[in-house]
């Protein structure tokens, strides 16, 4: 059999984190073990019926079965613009400041291809959602890590970035509410990022996928609530988490027309857009946001409290996050991230994600999710209490 060598860019990438987790999970289940999967942030709550009904109606219309326009259908872009105005009070033009995405992940991963050349650098938080790093490497760029430390609220210290490297930086990724740490930011931090980027002519790629999963009265801001942000920024949003539509693959990017346009040019050479019927379902989702969001937040708030109150009852000392459906947990002193995740699986049949899989600065933590039923979270705490000594 012929042997083929993979490209150098693929060799630079570590195994994709969640593929490795799936392998371990499958092995345990194949052994007949009752695994509680707190590893991957994939909502278990079904997509709302009003969205499914909109899809059913749209899919019966033959006009939706052809290629969608490069910009996406006008109805979807208009719905995004209206939602943005209602949610953040910001005007975003549906004509040249919005571009639909096949899920925000693909837009984020393709973003460096629009602006990064070999020798250029991208400022990437560490730990981080893996496509920030892999997208940079695919574009031939260099990753400059920005450690996210607990003592700094898991915000990057922009003043601590090595100034010898800054001249190479053309882009910075930020992500709040944050995956994997569940940290939040305020407008003061966003202003610091905008000022930093404008001073150095750096593009800000802001991942806001979890902007709507918030608790205890906290509302996540958009970077475009900061004066001048549209001069340097693009913001990525996803319908996956807000509307339980992870498998549908629909999201959008918005912001500076030049930046959005460059991403659109990359995508026009790679894909042919989102199925129009799914875009019409996206219209229904955004138009009915206010009727939907409180019910899902109620479910996640209850689950968060069940898991964290349970863990704290066995002296784990975990803070309640104000956003996302993630819980970022410091591992016991005798463990690394990997050994503790292994112990959870081997002894308690619980899948958790080792923090170092998100970057070096994630060492010493594991991430758990609350995208399972409350009863499974209660059972998880019970197993930890009884099986981990």
Residues across the chain: 389
Please tell me the distance from the alpha carbon of residue 271 to that of residue 345, in angstroms, as a whole number. Answer: 39
**Dist CA 7 CA 138 (whole Å):** 10
Angle at 42 (CA atoms; ends 100, 99), nearest 5 degrees: 5
Read off the DSSP letter of residue 71.
Answer: T
DSSP string, 248-284: G--EEEEE-HHHHHHHHHHHHTT-----HHHHHHHHH
Distance CA 260, CA 82 (A): 18
Q: Say which DSSP state 352 is in.
A: -
Whole-model pTM?
Answer: 0.96
**Beta strands 121-126; 142-147: pairing state:** parallel
- pLDDT by residue, tens only, the chain of 389 residues: 788 999 988 888 877 666 777 787 888 888 989 999 999 899 999 999 999 999 999 999 999 999 988 799 999 999 999 999 999 999 999 999 999 999 999 999 999 999 999 999 999 999 999 999 999 999 999 999 999 999 999 999 999 998 888 999 999 999 999 999 999 999 999 999 999 999 999 999 999 999 999 999 999 999 999 999 999 999 999 999 999 999 999 999 999 999 999 999 999 999 999 999 999 999 999 999 999 999 999 999 999 999 999 999 999 999 999 999 999 999 999 999 999 999 999 999 999 999 999 999 999 999 999 999 999 999 999 999 999 96
List the domains of the chain with CATH numbers: 8-46+291-387 (3.90.1150.10), 49-289 (3.40.640.10)
For the CA atoms of 150, 152, 154, 158, the dihedral, rounded to the nearest 10 degrees, stands at -140
| DSSP states of 90-145 | ----TTTSEEEESSHHHHHHHHHHHH--TT-EEEEEES--THHHHHHHHTTPEEEE
For 233, half-sphere exposure in the C-beta direction (CA atoms, 13 angstrom radius) is 26
- Is-contact 155 183, C-beta < 8 A? yes
């Amino acid at each position: 059999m012929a042997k083929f060598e993979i490209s150098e860019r693929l060799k630079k990438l570590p195994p994709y984190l969640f593929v490795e987790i799936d392998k371990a999970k499958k092995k345990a289940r194949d052994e007949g073990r009752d695994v509680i999967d707190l590893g991957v942030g994939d909502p278990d709550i079904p997509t709302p019926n009003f969205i499914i009904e909109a899809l059913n109606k749209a899919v019966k219309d033959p006009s939706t079965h052809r290629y969608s326009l490069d910009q996406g259908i006008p109805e979807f872009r208009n719905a995004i613009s209206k939602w943005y105005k209602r949610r953040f009070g910001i005007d975003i033009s549906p004509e040249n400041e919005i571009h639909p995405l096949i899920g925000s992940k693909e837009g984020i991963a393709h973003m460096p291809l629009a602006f990064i050349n070999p020798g250029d650098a991208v400022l990437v938080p560490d730990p981080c959602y893996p496509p920030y790093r892999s997208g940079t490497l695919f574009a031939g760029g260099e990753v400059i890590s920005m450690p996210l430390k607990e003592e700094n609220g898991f915000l990057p210290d922009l003043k601590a970035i090595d100034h010898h490297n800054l001249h190479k930086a053309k882009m910075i990724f930020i992500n709040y509410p944050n995956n994997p740490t569940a940290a939040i930011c305020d407008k003061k931090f966003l202003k610091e990022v905008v000022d930093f980027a404008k001073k150095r002519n750096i593009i800000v790629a802001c991942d806001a996928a979890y902007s709507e999963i918030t608790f205890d009265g906290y509302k996540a801001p958009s970077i475009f609530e900061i004066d001048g942000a549209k001069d340097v920024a693009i913001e990525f949003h996803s319908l996956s988490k807000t509307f339980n539509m992870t498998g549908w693959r629909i999201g959008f990017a918005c912001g500076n027309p030049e930046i959005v346009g460059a991403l659109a040019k990359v995508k026009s050479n790679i894909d042919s857009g989102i199925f129009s019927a799914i875009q019409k379902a996206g219209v229904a989702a955004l138009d009915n946001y206010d009727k939907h969001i409180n019910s899902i937040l109620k479910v996640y708030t209850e689950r968060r409290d069940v898991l964290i109150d349970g863990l704290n009852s066995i002296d784990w000392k975990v803070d309640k996050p104000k956003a996302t459906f993630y819980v970022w947990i410091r591992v016991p002193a005798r463990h690394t991230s990997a050994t503790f995740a292994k112990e959870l699986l081997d002894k308690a049949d619980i899948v958790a994600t080792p923090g170092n899989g998100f970057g070096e600065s994630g060492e010493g933590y594991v991430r758990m999710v609350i995208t399972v039923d409350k009863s499974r979270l209660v059972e998880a705490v019970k197993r930890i209490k009884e099986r981990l000594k």
